[in-house]
Amino acid sequence: MSISPLLQDLENALRCLPGVGPRSAARMALHLLERDRDRGLNLAKTLQQALTEIEYCERCRNLTEIQPCRICQDDSRDQNLLCVVSSPSDILVIEQSGLFRGRYHCLAGLLSPLEGLGAQEIGLATLYERVLREKPDECLVALASTVEGEATTHQIVMGLEGSVCVTRLAQGVPVGGELDHLDISTLSQALTSRTEVQR
């Protein structure tokens, strides 16, 4: 049985998305062709525009179509608080919380020697230069609690030692979490990072 080469190309193109396998790609392609061509054309137009116009912010490395990005241009944000994240998706999550009003600095990933990602590849020197230039009061490191995240956090603390107060997100038992469901690493962090109960 042979199918349209163009349909096959569409399915293969959709498979570049994370979590989309052959079956999902086929369903998406057929849905767009059979039931939703107008929105499919809009998707294609928007995708092309986004891929052409969106780039990294020259100041914080967030994704943006203007330079610098809207967050960096916002004078109402706390100029003395800089949050370090590993990717633009982290900025999106923190912004959706509505609880952070500082600025951001986005690394190009986390230290991972096995993947060839060292300090230079993820842009730690750019972070250090920015901190020295802008002199924030606090640098909040908001990286994943993984081996790579911990190594990157340690490197940042060492690189910024003496130039700024470095903090990190609290870690440990999640709200609603049961102790018997925690792994040893999470429990260890919770015990080490315990705080005094306020009245």
Residue 117: pLDDT above 90?
A: yes
Continuous segment of H or E residues that includes residue 64: strand 63-64
In this structure, what CATH number is given to the domain that contains residue 133?
A: 3.40.1360.10
Rounded to whole angstroms, what are the CA distances from 38 to 32, 49, 133, 137? 8, 17, 49, 51
Residue 135: pLDDT above 80?
A: yes
58 is a domain residue: no
**What is the domain count for the chain?**
1
Which domain does 95 fall in, by range? Answer: 78-168
Per-residue pLDDT band for 165 (boundaries 50, 70, 90) equals very high
129 is a domain residue: yes
183 is a domain residue: no
- Report field, pTM of the whole predicted structure over 0.75: yes
101 is a domain residue: yes
Per-residue pLDDT band for 188 (boundaries 50, 70, 90) equals confident
15 is a domain residue: no
pLDDT of residue 195: 66
Per-residue pLDDT band for 196 (boundaries 50, 70, 90) equals low
- Tell me the C-alpha distance between 60 and 83, whole Å: 10
Q: Dmax over Cα atoms in the chain, in whole Å?
A: 73
